[in-house]
Amino acid sequence: MSIIRNVAAIAKGMSITLREGFEPTQVENYPDGKGPLRGAQLQERFRGKHQLQRDENGLEKCVACFLCAAACPSNCIYIEAGDNTEETRISSAERYAKVYNIDYNRCIFCGYCVEACPTDAITHGHGFELASLNATTMVMRKEDLLVPVATGLPRSGNEEAEALA
Ligand code: SF4
Ligand code: SF4
């Protein structure tokens, strides 16, 4: 009886293999596919290159509290804080990130920095083509991470100052 059961189980397994063999191939045609991702398909939860977010007024959400850097197990976040002034306001709080670097030579995309951030300033985007033969290009600066000001939003004091300079 056990021999018959085993043969039946093998036949059942092989029938599934045979059936799937004639199904259309389902693979991602990256990098030769269509669209901006060139065939790659990413889930919403995918942890790609980070983004530094702005609030509804266009100000930077990062308040330079250093919690993300403290939470990072790879020690790959480097921040220098600056003070907002009445003339030049970058974030809505007392301080802003004057320098914000992430070293992607070290980042393991664990997401701890995102979890630690009290203002939702840092999030994971979907950028994934980060490989480089030059390690120095793997250090992304604030300018590489900051989302652009949405059209119609007021500019931060710093951007106003730059525009007037
Ligand atoms: S994802 Fe992880 S390793 Fe990368 S910067 Fe954030 S905390 Fe550090
Ligand atoms: S990204 Fe968030 S956690 Fe990191 S320094 Fe800015 S406000 Fe603090």
Residue nearest (by alpha carbon) to ligand 1 atom 1: 109
DSSP 4: H
Nearest ligand to the C-alpha atom of residue 71? 1
* pLDDT for 15: 95
Distance spanning both ends of the chain, measured CA to CA: 89
* pLDDT for 26: 76
How far is the centre of ligand 1, averaged over its atoms, from the C-alpha of 88 (Å)?
Answer: 30
72 lines ligand 1 (CB under 6 A): yes
| 55, 60, 63, best to mutate for ligand 2 pocket (most atoms within 8 Å of CB) | 63
| Segments in the chain below pLDDT 50 | 154-165
**Do the beta carbons of residue 160 and residue 72 sit within 8 Å?**
no
Rounded Cα distance, 104 and 107, in Å: 5
Q: State the architecture of 50-150 in CATH terms.
A: 2-Layer Sandwich (3.30)
Instruction: Say what the pTM is.
Output: 0.79
* pLDDT for 36: 84
